[in-house]
Amino acid sequence: MITLDVLSGDDAVRHAFFTREGGVSRGLFASLNCGFGSGDDPDAVATNRAIACHRLGVPAERLVTCRQVHSATVVSVDAPWRRDASPSADGMVTTCAGIALGVLAADCAPILFADAEAGVVGAAHGGWRGALGGVAEATVAAMAAHGARVERIRAAIGPCIGQASYEVGPEFPPRFAKIDGASGRFFVPAARPGHFRFDLPGYIAHRLARLGLAAVERADCDTAADPQRFFSYRRACLSGERDYGRALAAIALVA
């Protein structure tokens, strides 16, 4: 698993960005696939989630994940929910110790947040739609509503697709420019005429920096370019694979 320094300085918070290594799933899902939304054996997924929670130091039944829909919707968590009752959302916040907020991703950016002094943590699923729609900002706002101070919040952007692997169409730069005139620097021309390569983690870091957080750190990884360590939706599509695993990122206040 991967941890970032920005969230590692306080014993009251635990976090991890898990790779695909160290689980029980096989084939396309080998091996630490934590996504029930995949076509993997649900029992294997449950075992993998329990393995990840053990490494994080949180009981498996205290891990919560949402039905991620690429939105800017954020929910507050005060108790774990049943899997069949998972809300449709892409951000979560909690003040409850011992609950692990989990994000599933396979190229999208998992973003973990903490204000350890206030006892508030958050997690967000940052695909391009969510990033453009403001899921990171909405998560910070929800944390502030629970007593966090924006200038104390620290954020970690986990492993996601890198710019070199992320080709997008000509409609992307104008769409982003309508929201943020400074977004053009996150697009560079691709080899295909009229196409671009998009810096998703750079764009998210840019949006977070404007909020005045205490610190923002990015993992130096490209999920699409590293099949040994990471699942990747884009790599699966380009390879003609029928499905793909989902990696877990999680954060919790120490009980």
DSSP 107-135: SSEEEEEEETTTTEEEEEEE-HHHHHHTH
Does 158 score more than 80 pLDDT?
yes
Domain ranges, ordered by start, for the chain: 5-162+199-253
Count CB atoms within 10 A of the CB of residue 172. 19
Strand partners, 210: none
Q: Per-residue pLDDT averaged across 212-234, rounded?
A: 98
The CATH number corresponding to 5-162+199-253 among 3.40.50.920, 3.40.50.300, 3.60.140.10, 3.30.710.10 equals 3.60.140.10
Query: What CA–CA distance (Å, rounded) separates 74 from 70?
Result: 11
Q: Per-residue pLDDT averaged across 12-16, rounded?
A: 98
Query: What CA–CA distance (Å, rounded) separates 196 from 166?
Result: 8
Check if the beta carbon of residue 111 is closer than 8 Å to that of residue 126. Answer: yes
Task: State which amino acid sits at residue 239.
Answer: S
**pLDDT digit string, tens, across residues 64-96:** 999 999 999 999 999 999 999 999 999 999 999
| Structure confidence at residue 255 (pLDDT) | 77
**pLDDT digit string, tens, across residues 166-179:** 999 999 999 999 99
**pLDDT digit string, tens, across residues 184-220:** 999 999 999 999 999 999 999 999 999 999 999 999 9
Count CB atoms within 10 A of the CB of residue 21. 13
Query: What CA–CA distance (Å, rounded) separates 134 from 217?
Result: 18
Which residues touch 61 (CB under 8 Å, ≥6 apart)? Answer: 80
Q: Per-residue pLDDT averaged across 111-132, rounded?
A: 98
Strands 100-105 and 91-94: unpaired
Q: Per-residue pLDDT averaged across 142-149, rounded?
A: 98
Query: What CA–CA distance (Å, rounded) separates 32 from 22?
Result: 6
Check if the beta carbon of residue 90 is closer than 8 Å to that of residue 130. Answer: yes
Which residues touch 125 (CB under 8 Å, ≥6 apart)? Answer: 66, 68, 70, 90, 91, 103, 104, 105, 108, 109, 110, 111, 135
Instruction: Give the pTM.
Output: 0.98
pLDDT > 70: what percent of the chain?
100
3-state secondary structure of 41: coil
Quote the mean pLDDT of the chain. Answer: 97
Check if the beta carbon of residue 56 is closer than 8 Å to that of residue 250. Answer: yes
Check if the beta carbon of residue 204 is closer than 8 Å to that of residue 109. Answer: yes
| Structure confidence at residue 72 (pLDDT) | 98
Does 101 score more than 90 pLDDT?
yes
- Give the 3-state secondary structure of 150-193: HHHCEEEECCECCHHHCEECCCHHHHHHHHCCCHHHHEEECCCC
Strand partners, 176: none
pLDDT > 90: what percent of the chain?
99
Q: Per-residue pLDDT averaged across 114-137, rounded?
A: 98
Tell which phi-psi region holds residue 229, choosing left (phi > 0), alpha (psi between -120 and 50) or beta. Answer: alpha
| Structure confidence at residue 236 (pLDDT) | 98
Token pair of 97 as six digits: 């110790």
